[in-house]
Structure 1
Amino acid sequence: MTVKLAIAGSSGRMGRMLIEASQQTPGVELVAALDRPDSVWLGRDAGDFAGVNTGVAISADVDAAFALADCLIDFTRPEATLLHLEAARRAGKAMVIGTTGFKPEEKQQIAAFAEHIPVVFSANMATGVNAVFKLLEVAAQILNSGYDVEVYEAHHRFKVDAPSGTALRMGEVVAKGLGRDLAECAVYGREGVTGERKPETIGFATVRGGDIVGDHTVTFAALGERVEISHKAGSRMPYASGSMRAALFLQGKRNGLFDMQDVLGLK
């Protein structure tokens, strides 16, 4: 059975990659492409960015998109994603959410929507990153005493939230494995005379520059040794390909909140 797919933010860097991936994924049919109402790309073919003709014109009408599509993939901004979720609920359709930067109360809204429609919501859609999440879970259980934990992430100059959703999720995974609450032990950047590092903290360092797609490293540092678990993305295609897997995973589901660990069978 083919999944009829709509893609939000289709003129953006990730949107363009999602459109390209949709043309390469068996079992997926692109039927709608969305962009902002003020976009200069409205009415253009969604494949113009990649030099292909998809036969799908870019539109700003989300309700019309859901009339055609089974599932919407959204990597936009929190406020737009929440509006798209409202439309998905009205239509009784599925969503794959790769948007980051949600506040805790907004995540609760997503969970509430998922009581009515099926949703995959993940900090990172790449298969490799989700393998790293699993490795971090194991590492935290083993390296649970005498190791300082630091999370480093780097992204392109255009990214608007920090730390990245992926870095935060890595911190959450490690904190859970160590029996800690990330909200209580996270340290976001250091400056001045900070004093000695408190052993229960998990530190975050953020870099923004150029066209870095996404680098993430978690370091477990002890006296005399250091363990590092890293993922480096060379393009956005791993995120797009994982999103296609998520859309296919939602076929036949009536409701529920899932993440890529569910999609990949890692739970």
Structure 2
Amino acid sequence: MGIFDQVPGFDALPPGWGGGGSSEPAQGGGQVPPVRASGGRVATSDFSVRELLVVEQAGFRALGLCLGNSIWKVQANTQFRNTSYELTDLTGAMYGAREKAVEIMREEAEQLGADGIVGTRLEISQLADSGMLEFRAFGTAIVHAEGHSGYRRPDGRPFTSDLSGQDFALALRSGRRPLDLVLGCCVQHIPRRSLMTTLKQAMQCVELDLFTQAYYTAREHAMERMSAHAAEVGANEIIGTTLREESHVWGDHIVEFLAVGTAMYDTGKPDPNFRIDPTFTLTLDD
């Protein structure tokens, strides 16, 4: 008897598939017929086996892989001045596009009855038109196995996070609750050096002050906006913050600075049995 023969709700496999009956594959071109689960929706996820098991040990189960997308025209209208300044229209467009993609993803999770989304990924790809970008958000919707609704946001909607399955389980045991994937961005015009300055610095090792200040200011704006987003949802900490820089379709002197992290609420009440033992890691890098 094959392992699938022992699972209720699965159609019987043909002889030769699943370890029982004849050793010959099924007739009809050797194609494997689909194995269908009866009753209910098939759960999908992008979890690894380890992540899936850890999430289940934390008391949750995966409902489905949710996604959202939004296509925007993001044309840069730069001013003719050789200074550093923020392109506020582009900043707003990059915010709006990502928020739309995440909102569609969250709505899919709501339709599944999820408590939250784990492992959210934000992606951008350029379409055929040089000024068009597609913004995508992916994540796995999960729900508490016993119907505990206390893991949702204060407004009753599913939380979003970019935590892995392992990090999500560890956060819960440490007394933390994920609230939302928060982000901040700033699209900055980076000034060009004058011809005279470029010639003077051609053979020198010297700090480019205008560039330093432009990059620093833009990163600070992105971080401050991410922190403000977290405060709006009632978080008291952000974990897993990443900083990204990308010119997308605008060329070398326009750069988007993006800060992304998961807003958390630390209840201060960890699991009494919570403990992280040190582990030995041997790297195989040269």
Q: Would you call these one fold, judging by a TM-score over 0.5?
A: no
**Greater relative contact order, per chain length (Cα 8 Å cut-off, separation 6+):** 1
Structure 1 length-normalised TM: 0.20
